[in-house]
Amino acid sequence: MISFNSKILGLNVLLTLALTSFWANDASAKCNKISPPFKDYLLYVNFGSSLYIDPATPVGTVLAQQTISGDALNSPNGGWVGLCDDAASKIGYWWLEQHNSESRNHQPVSGVTALTADGDMYVMRDNGSGNPYGGGGSGSIGYTVELLSNGNYLPFSEVGGSPPINVPPLTGGALSGIPCASAKSGASGYPPFTGNCKTGQYVFNWRQLGSFSMRVTLYRLKGTVPAAGITMAGNDGDRSFSLMSLMDNSSTPPSINKNMFNLTRIALSSPVVLRTAPCNNFSYPTVNLNKVNVGAFKTVGQPASGIADVPVNVSAKCSSNTAVKWAIMGTSDSYNPDGSQGILALDTVDNMASGVGVQLTKTTGELLPITPANSVNYQWIDTNLKTNASGALLIQFMARYVRVGDVSPGIANSHAYLIVSPK
């Protein structure tokens, strides 16, 4: 991880590159899923075909992250997911179930904390062996699944754990369904419901939940990744490893209520091969950016006036005589979300600055694209690099401040990672 220490006059900059209450329940209320199509409907997360890892990567490091939009559930059956008996029958809870982890007894990994609300992480199934956590596979890759709803990240929990699964209530209270006649006619504003329902029944559509998504994160764990790589797969025949569902309001968690259960499974879109990167032993230099007066940031999208770019030199030990390509992965600033202008966003900290990002460029002055942290489409940089007979590799680029909005002084932290792959 590369560190930058710098100051803007009055602006200290450090860049590291490297529920609510329950409502009353009606015992007679009941809702069920509409099946088909919502019987273990699969949502896929795409981590690409290959990921690369430095063997020296610390345990707990995030390797990749992908988000699945809940909008993917709006197409099958027009988004109609559940049918409720009467007006008292409502959808009250999320059901977030983690299952089939390869760590011991499918429980969370002991001694490692994930970047989630509950801190739990699980071992992804793979074709390796020697899991140091006492389960199957190699144990090299951990993962978490979270639901983002109404600004909150809600973790999925192991069904055999304590508490058994995470069943948080919907923010704002239980949702009422749409009268059968309105659903069939399209008067609800959603695609017409073409299934069977009758007067007095209510139909529920995914769109009523508003915007929500699922986030899957891969982490480095202990365990050896052989030169040939390890293939990660899902955790059963349909490649799924987590289950997301909804539950009606006829009982209060943690009691088990299977109404509306088994709606959506989350799975890898295809097997992913985890490979050992051709380079390791990276140097993580600390780069000091010069002091800059806030007034030097004159134009949005432009660097501070009169301040020279600062060189960044990263060395590594690699396989000898190997052609490589490289990329920078980090959180791109909202000013340029796709990373094409090479602007890293600031981390959220107390007394943080605003209106400033850190921009990376090639030594020739061209902007250095960054791969957004949640992307598997690496923006590879081809500089015709090839290691020498001893395997030494030196990567050089430049860093500078850039204005992305109204500048205010404060702490400005950011981070990114250098990725090297065989060409």
3 state DSSP class of 184: helix
3 state DSSP class of 296: helix
Nearest to 344 by CA among 315, 320, 371, 321: 371
Residues of the chain with CATH 2.60.40.3310: 31-275
Place of tokens 């090479």: 342
Rounded CA separation 143/101 (Å): 9
Whole-number pLDDT of residue 238: 60
Residues of the chain with CATH 2.60.40.1090: 3-16+284-422
| Residue 302 DSSP symbol | S
**Residues of the chain predicted below pLDDT 50:** 5-29
Contact (CB, 8 A) for 73 and 231: no
Whole-number pLDDT of residue 161: 65
Whole-number pLDDT of residue 158: 87
Cβ atoms within 10 Å of 274's Cβ, excluding its own: 25
Contact (CB, 8 A) for 103 and 131: yes
Per DSSP, the residues of 354-385 read EEEEEEEE-TTS-B--EEETT-SS---EEEEE
Nearest to 207 by CA among 385, 82, 27, 369: 82
- Decide if domain 31-275 falls under CATH 2.60.40.3310: yes
Task: Specify the DSSP element, H or E, that contains 183.
Answer: helix 180-185
322-348: burial string, b at 16+ Cβ within 10 Å, e else: bebbbbbbbbbbebbeebebbbbbbee
288-301: burial string, b at 16+ Cβ within 10 Å, e else: ebeebebebbeeee
Whole-number pLDDT of residue 402: 92
Place of tokens 């088994």: 262
What Å distances lie between residue 383 and 320, 336, 361, CA to CA? Answer: 17, 23, 13
Average pLDDT in the chain:
84
35-39, Cβ contacts within 8 angstroms, sequence gap of 24 or more: 36/77, 37/76, 37/77, 38/76, 38/77, 38/81, 38/82, 38/263, 38/264, 39/262, 39/263
3 state DSSP class of 370: strand
Whole-number pLDDT of residue 278: 78
Sequence-distant (≥ 6) Cβ neighbours of residue 338 within 8 angstroms: 332, 372
CATH number for the segment(s) 3-16+284-422: 2.60.40.1090
Whole-number pLDDT of residue 244: 92
Token couple for 395? 């990567």
Indicate the pTM of the whole model: 0.71
